[in-house]
């Protein structure tokens, strides 16, 4: 009995040792493959001045899109700011600057608040964001406004966009999503990966009067006199991302599309609110290009996210777009800069 127990324990220990050795060998193989495709800057932090343009617009049309859409845009200007990659977290701050500002007498005046923070690992990414925009101008499809004539202005319209999105990268051995997002890595050879996006988002639209003008409501069908709209979205979007590399120059393209579940509330200008549940799709598109050296890097990119709702006789589309132009430099970490974000949560 004792001999049998001893043999069993010995076999168990040998199995554990073999499994541990297998895991170590597999990990070494993955690290070896990754080193051929990706250069990691584990001991560096980065700072980059940037020029950013971010906008949140929406469009309204009839459900079958037989009528021209009414497009509402903010009169945004560019923002000048700085980005940082510290403690394995990436964040940016920016202020409005008078570059390419459009005439407020024609396009109205808009106020915007944009906050965003993201965390990226080899295989996982997380984005937290908040946007608030007030003041829009209306640009109808098929209607050309003569030069010098003001667009229809809606200073009373306020939108809020709050959410969290996450994504998972399958081929993290050969492909780095960070190389074109926050430049924490450098892609050395061209590679791509399937990717899965997940988003929980809350969008709110409010105004002092109906969003669709009174003289247009009959053309667009029933429930077109709404002045408030709120929806919460949960979506999953599979897609693909690819880094094309030529020496130290790269081009990244990402596209994902998938089902979306919306919980919707809308209220007419004078009346009771209505609730609805809607299933459709949402998509994310990203294009970026740049140069990534050992210390110096620069790049430009655009990200577009879009969601479409159809309730009653209305088709409502909300789009968020971001353009970034940046120049950055990597510095060697020293002192407390060597810490990672999770180190600050450890008990002393």
Q: Other C-beta atoms within 10 Å of 249: how many? A: 12
CA distance readout (Å), 191 to 32, 124, 181, 294: 16, 17, 15, 20
The mean pLDDT of 300-328, rounded to a whole number, is: 90
Q: What is the DSSP string of 145-194?
A: PPTTPPPPEEEEEEEEEEEEEEEEES-TTT--SHHHHT-SEEE-S-EEEE
Q: What is the pLDDT of residue 33?
A: 74
Angle at 253 between CA 53 and CA 188, to 5 degrees: 110
| Local confidence band at 22 (pLDDT 50, 70, 90 cut-offs) | very low
Residue 328 has pLDDT above 50, yes or no: yes
| Local confidence band at 143 (pLDDT 50, 70, 90 cut-offs) | confident
0.95 cut: is pTM over it?
no
Q: What is the pLDDT of residue 198?
A: 92
The mean pLDDT of 54-82, rounded to a whole number, is: 86
Closest CA to 328 of 82, 54, 90, 80: 82
In eight-state DSSP terms, residue 65 is: -
Which of 17-21, 27-31, 209-213, 221-225 shows the highest mean pLDDT?
A: 209-213
| Cβ–Cβ under 8 Å, residues 251 and 244 | yes
User: What mean pLDDT, rounded, does the chain reach?
Assistant: 84
Residue 145 has pLDDT above 50, yes or no: yes
| Cβ–Cβ under 8 Å, residues 280 and 193 | no
Q: What is the pLDDT of residue 113?
A: 81
Higher per-residue pLDDT: 104 or 10: 104
Q: What is the pLDDT of residue 333?
A: 81
Residue 89 has pLDDT above 80, yes or no: no
Q: Other C-beta atoms within 10 Å of 125: how many? A: 21
Q: What is the pLDDT of residue 300?
A: 95
- Looking up tokens 């990244």 gives 252
Q: 315: which 2 tokens?
A: 């088709």
- What torsion, rounded to 10 degrees, do the Cα atoms 79, 84, 85, 88 define? -100
Reduced to 3 states, what is the DSSP secondary structure of residue 1? coil
Higher per-residue pLDDT: 87 or 26: 87
DSSP β-ladder status, 79-86 and 226-246: unpaired
Q: 268: which 2 tokens?
A: 């007419």
Residue 255 has pLDDT above 70, yes or no: yes
| Local confidence band at 271 (pLDDT 50, 70, 90 cut-offs) | confident
Residue pLDDT, tens place only, 123-138? 888 888 888 999 999 9
Residue pLDDT, tens place only, 237-248? 999 999 999 989
Q: What is the pLDDT of residue 163?
A: 92
Of 110-114, 213-217, 248-252, 337-341, least confident by mean pLDDT is 337-341
Residues 6+ apart with CB under 8 A from 148: 106
Identify the burial level of 293 via C-beta atoms within 10 angstroms of its C-beta, where 0-12 means exposed, 13-18 middle and 19 or more buried: exposed
Residue 298 has pLDDT above 80, yes or no: yes
End-to-end CA distance of the chain: 48
Q: What is the pLDDT of residue 295?
A: 92
Tell me the backbone φ, ψ of residue 15, rounded to 5 degrees. -65, -45
Q: 166: which 2 tokens?
A: 């996450």
Residue pLDDT, tens place only, 91-128? 777 766 666 668 888 999 988 887 777 778 888 888 88
CATH architecture designation of domain 41-345: Beta Barrel (2.40)
| Local confidence band at 277 (pLDDT 50, 70, 90 cut-offs) | very high
Of 7-21, 53-67, 205-219, 283-297, least confident by mean pLDDT is 7-21
Reduced to 3 states, what is the DSSP secondary structure of residue 335? helix
- What torsion, rounded to 10 degrees, do the Cα atoms 32, 329, 287, 71 define? 150
Higher per-residue pLDDT: 282 or 15: 282
Q: What is the pLDDT of residue 4?
A: 61
Residue pLDDT, tens place only, 149-188? 899 999 999 999 999 999 999 999 999 988 998 898 999 9
| Cβ–Cβ under 8 Å, residues 91 and 125 | no
Residue 26 has pLDDT above 60, yes or no: no
Listed in order, strand segments (DSSP E) in 247-295 are 249-268, 274-292
Of 24-33, 64-73, 133-142, 249-258, least confident by mean pLDDT is 24-33
CA distance 27 to 23: 6
């Amino acid at each position: 009995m004792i001999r049998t127990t001893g043999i069993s324990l010995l076999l168990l220990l040998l199995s554990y040792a073999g499994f541990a050795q297998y895991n170590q060998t597999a990990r070494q193989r993955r690290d070896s493959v990754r080193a051929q495709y990706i250069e990691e800057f584990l001991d560096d932090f980065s700072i980059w001045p940037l020029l950013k343009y971010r906008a949140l617009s929406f469009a309204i049309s009839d459900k079958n899109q037989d009528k021209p859409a009414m497009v509402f845009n903010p009169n945004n200007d560019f923002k000048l700011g700085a980005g940082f990659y510290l403690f394995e977290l990436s964040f940016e701050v920016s202020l409005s600057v008078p570059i390419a500002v459009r005439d407020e007498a024609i396009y109205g005046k808009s106020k915007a608040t944009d906050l965003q923070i993201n965390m990226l690992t080899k295989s996982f990414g997380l984005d937290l964001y908040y946007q608030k925009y007030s003041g829009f101008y209306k640009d109808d499809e098929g209607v050309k406004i003569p030069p010098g004539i003001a667009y229809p202005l809606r200073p009373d319209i306020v939108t809020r966009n709050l959410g969290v999105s996450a994504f998972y990268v399958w081929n993290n051995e050969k492909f780095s999503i960070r190389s074109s997002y926050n430049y924490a890595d450098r892609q050395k050879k061209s590679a791509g990966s399937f990717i899965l996006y997940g988003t929980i988002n809350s969008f709110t639209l409010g105004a002092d009067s109906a969003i669709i003008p009174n003289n247009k409501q009959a053309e667009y069908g029933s429930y077109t006199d709404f002045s408030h709209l709120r929806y919460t979205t949960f979506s999953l979007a599979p897609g693909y991302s690819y880094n094309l590399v030529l020496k130290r120059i790269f081009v990244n393209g990402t596209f994902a599309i998938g089902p979306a579940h919306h919980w919707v509330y809308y209220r007419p200008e004078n009346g009771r609110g209505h609730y609805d549940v809607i299933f459709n799709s949402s998509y994310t598109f990203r294009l970026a290009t740049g140069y990534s050296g050992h210390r110096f890097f620069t790049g430009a990119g655009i990200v577009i996210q879009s969601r479409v709702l159809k309730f009653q006789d209305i088709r409502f589309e909300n789009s968020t777009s971001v353009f970034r132009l940046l120049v950055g430099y990597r510095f060697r970490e020293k002192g407390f800069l060597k810490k990672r974000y999770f180190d600050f949560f450890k008990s002393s």
